[in-house]
Structures are given as structure tokens and as C-alpha cells.
Amino acid sequence: MSAQPAHHRILLKLSGEALMGDDAFGINRATIVRMVQEIAEVTQLGVEVAVVIGGGNIFRGVAGGAEGMDRATADYMGMLATVMNALALADTMNKQGLTARVMSAIGIQEVVEPYVRPKALQYLEEGKVVVFAAGTGNPFFTTDTAAALRGAEIGADLVLKATKVDGVYSADPKKDPNATRYTSLTFDEAMVKNLGIMDATAFALCRDQKLPIRVFSIFKPGAFKRVVLGEDEGTLVYA
């Protein structure tokens, strides 16, 4: 008898940097294909998956030219970078046998459809993977905040923050060999310890909505599936 998923609907927060692999910027094809294969494994369990994608990998390529730029302008450039990533992610998903839909918080209807909550919920219920692009559509807000917002809007059971580290540690594990991984933390404990799991706005939104966050490594093979099955993977932050 196969294990049953512990979650019905999840919001996966992917940083743009997660798509780079070992490259300096841009999208590493092998990396994005591997991530999509892991997402496909989870959808085969009957779990509804939505994704919020960052744009740091694309924006990194123009970062020098953006130095000294108005913050709002730079943030809009970052939003466009997330759209590029979302298109690449969705295209890879469709080629791997998934059905993906990209929804943007800023209007570029000729490229992707606008974010409309009822439509997003319909897609999820139909078994499609929804990729949310352009953050919240507003400057001064991060894609972490977009993940918290969209997670709350679609009624996700869990927000998964995919990182390069397999959870939240008491100290930087690269610098401190005695650093220990937290299995779980309350929101209040994480704030007192100043662990910086998400930006303050995103963290407060998840706390207020009692929307748990699990931090895990997207680079650890099979970790995504283990999280969805409720196994001890990464760090759970809960209300």
C-alpha cells in the first residue's frame, strides 16, 4: 500500500537562483528538468501544486547596469525576470507531461494570462500546476511575500520554501560544524531567534493566517516528495 500525502494543496516557493545550477546566472537546463521531474512525482500523488518563482538568476545578469537605479524601476525589472522564469518552468513542465498554466500579477496578456483567483483555483482542481509570476505586482514586495499571499489566497495547506540548505539551523552550517537543524519551530520562536526564514512581511502574513512554512533543500533528491508525505525533512514553522 503506497503512502498517502500529508497535504492536499501546496505552494512551492522557488528562488530564481535555484534554476541556475552551477551557472553564474540564467537557467541551467538539467537543473530545471530535475526540479520539474520532482514536481511531477508529487502531482502523481494527487497533490495540487502551485509555484511562485523568483527572478534573481535573470536579474543577476543585468545587476551591474541596475546599480543606482530607482528601487521601483528595479523591482519592475525583477518582476519581468520572474515571468521569464515562469515561462521556462511551465514549458519544461508541459514537455515532461504536466499541464502548467502561468498567471501574472502584472498585465501582459499577449504572453501569459493575468492572475485571477477563481481561475487559479479551477486550474488546481483540474490537476494543472499553476505558476504565479511577477510577485505581488507591486514594487517593494518580495516573492516571499507573493508566496505567502498566494498561498493564503488559494487555501494552501503548506508553503514550501525551497532553498540550498536542508532546513533552518541554529547557525550557518557552512561556518559552524556544531550547528543543529531545527525539526520544527513556532513562528514566535523563529522571530525571537531572528532566524530570517522569510522577509518580515511574508512571515507575518503566514503567521497571521496560520499558514505553516516548511524550509527544505530543493537540491536534495527526493526531499520534495518526502516533505509532501509528511516525513522528517527540513524544518516546519507553525503557529
Binding site for ATP: what residues are annotated?
13-16, 56, 60, 163, 169, 172
Give the Cα separation of 216 and 234 in Å (integer). Answer: 4
How many alpha carbons fall within 13 Å on the CB side of residue 14? 33
Give the Cα separation of 210 and 204 in Å (integer). Answer: 10
- Is residue 143 within 8 Å of residue 82, measured between CB atoms? yes
Annotated binding site: 13-16, 55-56, 60, 75, 136-143, 163, 169, 172
- Is residue 51 within 8 Å of residue 12, measured between CB atoms? yes
Annotated binding site for UMP: 55, 75, 136-143
Q: Which helix (H) or strand (E) holds 30?
A: helix 29-43
Give the Cα separation of 232 and 183 in Å (integer). Answer: 7
Give the Cα separation of 223 and 215 in Å (integer). Answer: 11
Dihedral-angle region of residue 46 (phi above 0 means left; psi in -120 to 50 means alpha; beta otherwise): left
